Amino acid sequence: MKTLILMKSMLIGAAALTSFASTAQAQDLHFIMCGGEIRAADQDVVDAFVAANEGVTVNIEAVPWGTCQDKSLTLASAGDPPSISYMGSRTLRQLANNDLIVPSQISDDTRGAYQPGILNTVTVEGVEWGYPRAFSTKALFINCGLAEAAGVACEAPKTWDDMYAMAKAINDNTEAAGVGLAGKDFDNTMHQFLNYLYSNGGVVIDSATGENMLDSDNTRETLAFYEKLVSVAQEGPTAWERSQLKDLYNDGKIGMYIDGPWGRSQHNDDISEITVPVPHGPHGDNGTLLITDSIAVFKGSGHEDLAHQLAGMLTTGESQYALDTEWGLTPIFDYAKLGIESPYYEGDDYWQVFVGGIGKGGPEPLVEDFRSLQSVFTNMIQGILLADDTVDNLVAIAGEELDEAL
């Protein structure tokens, strides 16, 4: 992997003509890694890539999520792009529409092994713009100690009504709130809502036509359920995001909340819990948000071919398996199709909860300005959490705002 140093082509100019031989032998790739850390599975691939490409170096810059995606966008817009970046797939439409990245080159060897719906998370109007690298689905974690203290059996609630009844029992009969709700101005407020929406048969954007489908009865029912849950949720949900709900859960202050497969390793050992599919609404099945982070190859770095090679190495079955197991992610591939025997999720009831919902899940919507999309959902959700408006008005307004964002 060449350390993608963001070199403007105009700065290379004539110098490139006179030093072609030397630049072909020594190339420095700049790799922006969102998340603030470099995982061993990624570093191992980068090391192997460098060893296989004489004269090539890769400078991995780990940047926290709060500033990472903006940094990649700003550099690319200024004509000084990184060679490659690991970032949320939600950014791909904006990057593609502004001619800042090039389409991915996913190999035929891996294409057929992706879990259902994965490639939809990186596809805009039939073109794949990223290499899916990290994948998660969500489930409902329930504190059985609190449920039993409330006098209810710790069993999987199948429907929203069942979930509400359990949450109300915990809220009314213990010192804890029944459920944790995320309502902060942050992207996972939208993500949490989409888990419920997709469990009620809802659609945000039609994948075939690009039509805005948010203003629907499915969305109204989902927002009405949020309105109902407020009465059994923690105080002031607009101040909380998902990672903070984990802390409330660990402190025994909420009875249940939605999180990803990494939740098990982050919960206190003394909590007796069950992990179950997201309960479904009146018009859906137990669904989940299918969300990926992906690797984008930037246009104009001068290292596009090498960047594609690196992205391909990072997303082979072997490399992905190393990352998925290290990080505790939902498997991005059906690893049995790639010849991996006894993959970590087979025969484990916990993992089956996260794998079982893949085929019924929906993607994070791809719009050009993902922050505008986030605002559409945050405004709607906060509006109902704060009782600022009616469900009908909030959904209608959100539909109009999404039209403007598309």
Question: Are 268 and 153 in a shared domain?
Answer: yes
- CA torsion sign for 257, 275, 361, 121 is positive
What pLDDT sits at residue 24?
Answer: 37
Helix axes 391-405, 217-229, angle to 10 degrees: 120
As beta bridge partners, residue 28 has 57
| Structural domain contains residue 296 | yes
Question: Are 171 and 26 in a shared domain?
Answer: no
Query: Residue 330: which of 141, 118, 181 has the closest Cα?
Result: 118
Question: Are 281 and 306 in a shared domain?
Answer: no
According to DSSP, residue 231 is labeled G
What pLDDT sits at residue 26?
Answer: 59
Domain of 97: which CATH number? Answer: 3.40.190.10
Q: Are 256 and 127 in contact (CB under 8 A)?
A: no
CA–CA distance from 92 to each of 45, 100, 314 (Å)?
Answer: 23, 9, 18
Q: Which domain holds residue 339?
A: 9-136+291-360
| Structural domain contains residue 3 | no
Question: Are 283 and 159 in a shared domain?
Answer: yes
| Structural domain contains residue 37 | yes
Our count of domains for the chain comes to: 2
Q: Do strands 27-34 and 56-63 pair parallel, antiparallel, or not at all (unpaired)?
A: parallel
Output the 3-class SS for 248-288: HHHCCCECEEEECCCHHHHCCCCCCEEEECCCECCCCCCCC
According to DSSP, residue 330 is labeled P
Question: Are 201 and 55 in a shared domain?
Answer: no
| Structural domain contains residue 229 | yes
Question: Are 269 and 383 in a shared domain?
Answer: yes
As beta bridge partners, residue 62 has 33
Those residues whose C-beta lies under 8 Å from the C-beta of residue 247, and which sit 6 or more positions away, are: none
Give the pLDDT of the chain (406 residues) as one tens digit per residue: 333 332 222 222 322 322 333 333 458 999 999 998 999 999 999 999 999 999 999 999 999 988 998 999 999 999 999 999 999 998 999 999 999 999 999 998 899 999 998 998 998 888 999 999 999 999 999 999 999 999 999 999 999 999 999 999 999 999 999 999 999 998 899 999 999 999 999 999 987 788 999 999 999 999 999 999 999 999 999 999 999 999 999 999 999 999 999 999 999 999 999 999 999 999 999 999 999 999 999 999 999 999 999 999 999 999 999 999 999 899 999 999 999 999 999 999 999 999 998 988 998 888 888 889 999 999 999 999 999 999 999 999 999 999 998 8
What pLDDT sits at residue 1?
Answer: 35
d(CA 68, CA 36) in angstroms, rounded, equals: 8
Query: Residue 214: which of 354, 367, 97 has the closest Cα?
Result: 367
Question: Are 121 and 54 in a shared domain?
Answer: yes
d(CA 138, CA 262) in angstroms, rounded, equals: 10
Of 344, 360, 376, which residue constitutes the final position of a domain? 360
| Structural domain contains residue 324 | yes
What element of type H or E holds 86? strand 84-88
Question: Are 202 and 157 in a shared domain?
Answer: yes
Question: Are 93 and 194 in a shared domain?
Answer: no
| Structural domain contains residue 309 | yes
What pLDDT sits at residue 42?
Answer: 95
Task: Indicate the SS3 state at residue 80.
Answer: coil
Question: Are 233 and 309 in a shared domain?
Answer: no
Question: Are 275 and 311 in a shared domain?
Answer: no
Question: Are 298 and 389 in a shared domain?
Answer: no
Q: What are phi and psi of 395, to 5 degrees?
A: -70, -40
| Structural domain contains residue 330 | yes
| Structural domain contains residue 103 | yes
Give 44-72 as a DSSP string: HHHHHHHHHSTTEEEEEEEE-HHHHHHHH
